[in-house]
């Protein structure tokens, strides 16, 4: 049996904010120290991001009297509590997840009754009954749909979901697995007297993506893209370089400037191991989906893997149009790659590698190949 990627659907909250306007909003926050305010425009300009999305409508307002999430002042004090942010998460995440999931089912020509498993992924909010149950109820999936939730893993979590989906597909010939990644990162922006906080606030965005994977026989899978294998690699010396913790005023991110270099140190060996385990070489790949955690991350990956500019163009384009949306982002990149014609004869890509990076530091990735 093959694990076939049937469809990918992506979506975002309504507010689309140009990056220069996002910088202007942050500059108005009174408790941000002047030296950091002065650096904001340049930092945002260097991000290689043109637009980001948010479920927080306040980021689109010029007058704090119109705020309905933050207090009505430019100090943004008292800061919304973790409880208040989580309530907003539940309000916004459910319809966004339902939307992308429904469109993924339609694109896969799959009915609700066909789905055997749901895997929900998120690290920006929690509630129970959870997002997995909400999807079963709202999409009209069978009551015996098997459910899995993957939480608090960050930007690489989609690969853990794909690995679980692959296991389901290899163990059940009738498996039809719906994976839904939903992240509302902008709920947790913090106003702190650190450059690290300013950089985090300049990168992250809100979005969701869903994919349907199916178990298919060799005949059914012919000509279709399949998940072949996945691998994980943990750097034991970088536990504190990227962190995600729960605080009293939301979730708190730690992001070291070392991250791109640490990833670059381990990525070539990781790719070699993944490909050699499947009797493949880098030269066999005709696409590379790199999680755009930031411009420096993509550029360092391109450098150490010896990729052409065109290889990382889809990653940089997703970063430019959306920012870093955490777990859904790699599915945005894969969707873009699969939709464009990368070969001279107009044929779809035959094989490639996707990868993402997150707390640990961890590299997660997968090999895909057309059957």
Judging by DSSP bridges, how do beta strands 351-358 and 176-184 pair with one another? unpaired
CA-CA distance, 312 to 301, in Å (whole number)?
9
Name the 3-class secondary structure at 190.
coil
Instruction: Decide if 155 is catalytic.
Output: yes
* Pair 208, 328: CB distance under 8 Å: yes
Torsion sign (Cα): 114, 116, 117, 118: positive
Measured between alpha carbons, how far is 207 from 217 in angstroms, rounded to an integer?
33
| Strand-pair partners of 54 | 15
DSSP state at residue 217: -
* Crossing angle of the two packed helices 295-305 and 259-276, in degrees rounded to 10: 40
Label the pairing between strands 117-122 and 242-247: unpaired
Contact predicate 69/57, CB 8 Å: yes
β-strands 225-234, 2-11: how paired?
antiparallel
**Lookup result for tokens 């065109």:** 310
Q: Which of 155, 169, 181, 185 is catalytic?
A: 155
Check if the beta carbon of residue 363 is closer than 8 Å to that of residue 357.
Answer: yes
| DSSP H helices in 182-308 | 195-203, 218-221, 259-276, 295-305
Q: Residue 55: helix, strand or coil by DSSP?
A: coil
Q: Is 347 left (phi over 0), alpha (psi -120 to 50) or beta?
A: beta
Strand pairing report for 206-216 and 176-184: antiparallel
Q: Distance (Å, rounded) from C-alpha 158 to C-alpha 145?
A: 20
Tell me if 5 sits within 8 A of 107, measured CB to CB.
no
Q: Which residues are known to be catalytic?
A: 155
């Amino acid at each position: 049996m093959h694990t076939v990627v049937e469809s990918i659907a992506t979506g975002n909250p309504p507010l689309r904010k140009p990056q220069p306007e996002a910088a202007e909003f942050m500059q108005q926050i009174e408790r941000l120290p002047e030296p950091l305010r002065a650096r904001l425009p340049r930092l945002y300009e260097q991000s290689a991001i043109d637009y980001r999305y948010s479920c927080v409508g306040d980021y689109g307002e010029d007058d704090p009297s119109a705020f309905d999430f933050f207090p009505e002042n430019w100090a943004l004090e008292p800061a919304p509590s973790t409880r208040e942010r989580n309530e907003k998460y539940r309000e916004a995440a459910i319809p966004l997840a339902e939307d992308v999931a429904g469109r993924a089912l339609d694109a896969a020509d799959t009915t609700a009754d066909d789905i055997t498993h749901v895997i929900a992924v998120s690290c920006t909010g929690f509630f129970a009954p959870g997002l997995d149950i909400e999807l079963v109820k709202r999409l009209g999936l069978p009551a015996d749909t098997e459910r899995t939730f993957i939480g608090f893993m960050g930007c690489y979590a989609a690969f853990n979901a794909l690995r679980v989906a692959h296991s389901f597909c290899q163990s059940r010939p009738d498996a039809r697995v719906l994976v839904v990644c939903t992240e509302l990162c902008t709920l947790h922006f913090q106003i702190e007297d650190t450059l690290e906080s300013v950089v985090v606030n300049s990168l992250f965005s809100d979005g969701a993506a869903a994919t349907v994977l199916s178990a298919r026989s060799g005949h059914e899978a012919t000509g279709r893209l399949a998940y072949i294998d996945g691998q994980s690699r943990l750097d034991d010396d970088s536990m504190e370089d990227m962190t995600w913790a729960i605080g009293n005023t939301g979730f708190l991110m730690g992001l070291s400037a070392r991250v791109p270099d640490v990833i670059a140190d381990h990525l070539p060996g990781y790719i070699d191991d993944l490909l050699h385990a499947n009797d493949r070489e880098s030269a066999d790949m005709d696409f590379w989906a790199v999680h755009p955690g930031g411009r420096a991350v993509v550029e360092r990956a391109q450098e150490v893997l010896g990729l052409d500019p065109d290889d990382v163009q889809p990653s940089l384009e997703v970063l430019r149009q959306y920012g870093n949306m955490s777990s859904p982002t790699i599915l945005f990149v894969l969707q873009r790659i699969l939709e464009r014609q990368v070969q001279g004869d107009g044929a779809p890509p035959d094989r490639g590698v996707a990868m993402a990076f997150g707390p640990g530091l961890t590299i997660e990735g997968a090999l895909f190949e057309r059957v």
